[in-house]
A and B are shown apart, each in its own frame.
Chain A
Amino acid sequence: MTPALSTRGLAKSFGSLIVARDIELSLPQGARYALIGPNGAGKTTLINLMTGMLAPNAGQIFLGEDDITALEPQERVRRGLARTFQINTLFPGLNALEAVTLAVAERRGIAQQFWQNVATYKETIEEAHDILVKLRLGDSCYQTTRELPYGRQRLLEIALALATKPKVLLLDEPAAGVPPEESGDIFEAVASLSGDLTLLFIEHDMHVVFRFASHIIVLVGGGIYAEGSPAEIAANPGVREVYLGTRKHG
């Protein structure tokens, strides 16, 4: 079967600093992949390359069978490749309902309708509200984003991405900055997403990674160092040395 998302020889460098070297990645449909690696390994860079926020120096990116390397970020989103951000990238002055309604409206192609009141688009609003309820944000959906508790803002990150109806979702440390006792909630929400959705997430907490990932990719110095099932990665002596052995923060 064609992988949901794959890359071929993806490379990027800033001057002499190589941040991605010859990345060959393949996410099968419906996979739950974790991307791990020490700080500065190029994990976020890889997401930026795949989503088009950075242009690669070489290589190609495929969404299904389509080469999306030259597409603009919003084009990739419309074709089903969505992401979330490690640092909250939300709409501070909109409430959760407005923000997700906006994302749904963009996907449905009605965001240029300038005459009808937004409240007349019943299905759009209900779809947005359903997404919020699914992520347990239903009771705070009228609260302005900047006033939401931090953990809920992290969930809203995911809600915005889901509103684009992605086939592939790249989550950049979805629980970043959330206290360990709450990060489980966020990953429970992630785990409850539809099985058709292909997921790749960056995460530092190894307990979380081993619990939620079916497959792990280890990135070191911009290149794929190892990949395999959680058991294989746990048993890999090299990985233990470069990553699992050292204490991480963030």
Chain B
Amino acid sequence: MALAETVRTPQLYLQGLSRWRPIEIAFWLATLLPYWLAPDYLSLASQIAITALFALSLDLILGYAGIVSLGHAAFFGIGAYTAGLLSKYGWGEPLTGLAAAAFTAAIVGYATSFIIARFRHLALIMLTMGFGLLLGELANSAGWLTGGVDGLQGIHTWNLLGYFHFDLYGYTAYGYSLAVLFLLFLGARRLIHSPFGLALRGIRENWTRMPAIGAASRTHIQMIYTISAALAGIAGALLSETTQTVSLDSLSFERSAELLVMLVLGGAGRLYGGLVGAAIFMVARDQFSGIEPQYWYFWIGVLLVVVVVFMPNGVLGGLAKLYARWRGR
């Protein structure tokens, strides 16, 4: 190993870091399994894919740039309402709905990024939470537009690509959500292995050193925050298009908090952490709420404590450590 590394050029070494590993290919192939193994659960699978995309968007800012957000549902909700309203007022084409949602969320993300980029740590948590609550109440009070607590009614999503009908069982919904998740994941993966991705890791690893190497950290943060907002908006739009409804809880504080829980469960800063975390969380919720409908949060609490105590870097961090130990033998 050591010999191989001295022979390799630095360029080839860096190239090797972004190589596709077999486990990644296996992971994506496994996402197709629900079609055969659990055809009754395709609606759940579709929601998992959407939540995974949402978690991926949080991972980009939290896991890579170290920006903790407790208000990321704001962008999810903006995306959901954008696509929902478009559809309600006559334009139910799903792909352009996603684009419109991404655009609107990105605009709001960019506007708030000027404030976000000036703060760190606890102040950020308060700020993002503040933005989230503010937007939630705005949507609540603007009942004429959003439908208020009754939710947005009258959404009709057209056939995907003019052909695939959004069926009751979720065949189209899951395929659609999964395809969008996969494509955007590819984009995020490219971004992480780019010079910009390296700069984000620099911000996470040492915020104070960045200016001393001449880095424009604030511009970097504004850029990734905007990108992350767009991804969250797309996730929100996917939910409103596949469920053909939008409710206020799409931008609630609970959604933001749960998202953070999922990312911590799965492991932040690994791209796949949010995906795995979303799957564990949603399946656990589905199972626990079946057993004990009233107290299922109890079990989520247990799960969170156990994971954080035994695997401080999430499930994926724990697995990576085990693997390293096994390989070390």
Contacts and interface: CB of A to CB of B under 8 A. Distances in A.
A115 interface: yes
B14 A51 contact: no
B14 A112 contact: no
A136 interface: no
B13 interface: yes
Interface stretch (A33-41, A93-101, A202-210): A93-101
22 contacts: A53-B211, A74-B212, A74-B214, A74-B216, A74-B217, A77-B211, A98-B201, A102-B202, A106-B213, A106-B214, A107-B213, A111-B195, A111-B216, A112-B195, A114-B195, A117-B15, A118-B194, A121-B195, A122-B11, A128-B10, A142-B5, A161-B212
Contact of B202 (A94, A97, A117): A94
Interface in A63-98: 72-74, 77-78, 82-83, 85, 89-94, 97-98
B215 A74 contact: yes
B11 A103 contact: no
Interface in B13-64: 13-15, 17-18
Nearest to A165: B214
A105 interface: yes
A170 to B, nearest CB: 10
Contact of B205 (A72, A92, A112, A124): A92
B191 interface: yes
Interface in B114-145: none
Contact of B194 (A77, A91, A98, A115): A115
A82 B212 CA distance: 7
Contacts of A99: 202
A154 interface: no
B229 to A, nearest CB: 15
B190 interface: yes
A250 to B, nearest CB: 21
- Interface hub of B14, B214, B227 (most chain A Cβ within 10 A): B214
B146 to A, nearest CB: 33
Contacts of A112: 195-196, 199, 219-220, 223
B195 A119 contact: no
B290 to A, nearest CB: 40
Contact of A139 (B6, B17, B204, B220): B6
Given A77-B212, A113-B196, A125-B14, 11 more contacts: A74-B211, A74-B217, A85-B209, A93-B204, A94-B201, A94-B205, A102-B202, A115-B194, A117-B193, A118-B14, A121-B195
A232 interface: no
A224 interface: no
Contacts of A163: 213
A90 B209 contact: yes
A118 B6 CA distance: 20
Contacts of B223: 112, 114
Q: Which of A92, A102, A114, A128 has the most CB of B within 10 A?
A: A114
B206 A114 contact: no
Contact of B191 (A107, A114, A125, A126): A114
Interface residues of A, number: 49
Contact of B11 (A90, A106, A125, A141): A125
Given A97-B13, A102-B199, A114 B212 contact: no
Contacts of A94: 198, 201-202, 205
Contacts of B190: 114-115, 117
B170 interface: no
Contacts of B211: 53, 72-74, 77
Contacts of A142: 5, 13
Contacts of B11: 119, 122, 125-126
Interface residues of B, number: 38
B208 interface: yes
A89 B206 contact: yes
B194 A97 contact: no
A164 B205 CA distance: 19
Interface in B242-263: none
B197 interface: yes
B14 A101 contact: yes
A164 B213 CA distance: 6
Contacts of A93: 201, 204-205
Contacts of B205: 91-94
A103 B196 contact: no
A118 B198 contact: yes
Interface string A212-245: 0000000000000000000000000000000000
A94 B206 CA distance: 10
A110 B197 CA distance: 11
Contacts of B215: 74, 102, 106, 111
A138 B138 CA distance: 57
Contacts of A90: 206, 209
A98 B11 CA distance: 11
The 10 A-B pairs with the shortest beta carbon distances in the complex, nearest first, are: A77-B214, A114-B196, A119-B15, A91-B205, A73-B211, A103-B213, A119-B14, A74-B211, A111-B199, A129-B10
Contacts of A118: 14, 193-195, 197-198
